[in-house]
Amino acid sequence: MNTYVKFAPNVFVAKCDEQYEKGEVIDVTTKYGKENECIIFNLIGKKDGFYYYSIVRADGFNVQEWAKAKAERRREWASSAERKSTEYFERSNKDREFLSLGEPIKVGHHSEKSHRRIIEEVHNNMGKCVEYSDKAASHEDKAAYWAKRADTINLSMPESIDFYEHKLEQAKEYHEGVKSGKYPREHAYTLTYAKKDVNEAQKSFDLAKKLWEDNV
């Protein structure tokens, strides 16, 4: 059975008990027992009789599609909460004509009980209206957050080679610019941080190539 193993942040590779060729489609089983069809990319390493391969989902599902699905789900929840908020608002207004008269509660009168019930219902329904309105707003905020992440590129994707190559070029250009005086040193550690960014970008670029570069 082929299983998922975490290789790096955001990256899971296939742990296989037999060898495969680049481009082969295999089933990889999650820890929950679900099988996904995946396409083999590169052999990352061998250990204890197992082969470790970089893979992508055959159906195209990746971190971007996951973010889109999360955003859509949140939008659906927001719509549902907004509908419930509207329903409770309408319920709170069903006795508005009576309440708009400003009649005081007539203590001891036969209408006292129903009058108090109406006021309590209005209070409860408006409370629910506000509660679901707040939920809708919260879901919309989260939907916007996930929608922004729909363009994410990370090391779990073959596109990360070009992405991190560009990031490395930018980091090197800025580092050289700080050294030459093209860019100002905003504090004592500006050059140190710029060099650190170069090193991190280089590390990510090298890892992206190991995972996804065509070695044929």
Domain count, the chain: 3
The answer on 133 and 113 residing in a single domain is yes
Per-residue pLDDT, 98: 56
Classify burial at 29, counting beta carbons within 10 Å of its beta carbon; exposed 0-12, middle 13-18, buried 19 or more: middle
The answer on 178 and 113 residing in a single domain is no
The answer on 76 and 51 residing in a single domain is no
The answer on 46 and 11 residing in a single domain is yes
What interhelical angle do 160-180 and 190-212 show, nearest 10? Answer: 160
Q: Which helix (H) or strand (E) holds 172?
A: helix 160-180
Instruction: Identify the domain containing residue 21 by its residue range.
Output: 3-61
pTM: 0.68
The answer on 190 and 124 residing in a single domain is no
Q: Is residue 167 part of a domain?
A: yes
Q: Is residue 155 part of a domain?
A: no
Per-residue pLDDT, 94: 74
Per-residue pLDDT, 106: 59
Q: Is residue 18 part of a domain?
A: yes
Q: Is residue 51 part of a domain?
A: yes
Q: Which two tokens stand for residue 6?
A: 């975490």
Per-residue pLDDT, 48: 94
Per-residue pLDDT, 108: 66
Mean pLDDT, the chain cut into blocks of 10 residues (216 residues total): 94 96 95 95 95 94 78 91 90 68 63 72 85 92 82 90 95 96 94 96 95 81
The answer on 57 and 69 residing in a single domain is no
Hey, what amino acid is at 203? K
The answer on 195 and 141 residing in a single domain is no
The answer on 112 and 177 residing in a single domain is no
Classify burial at 129, counting beta carbons within 10 Å of its beta carbon; exposed 0-12, middle 13-18, buried 19 or more: buried
Per-residue pLDDT, 64: 78
Per-residue pLDDT, 126: 85
Q: What is the CATH number of the domain that holds 26?
A: 2.40.10
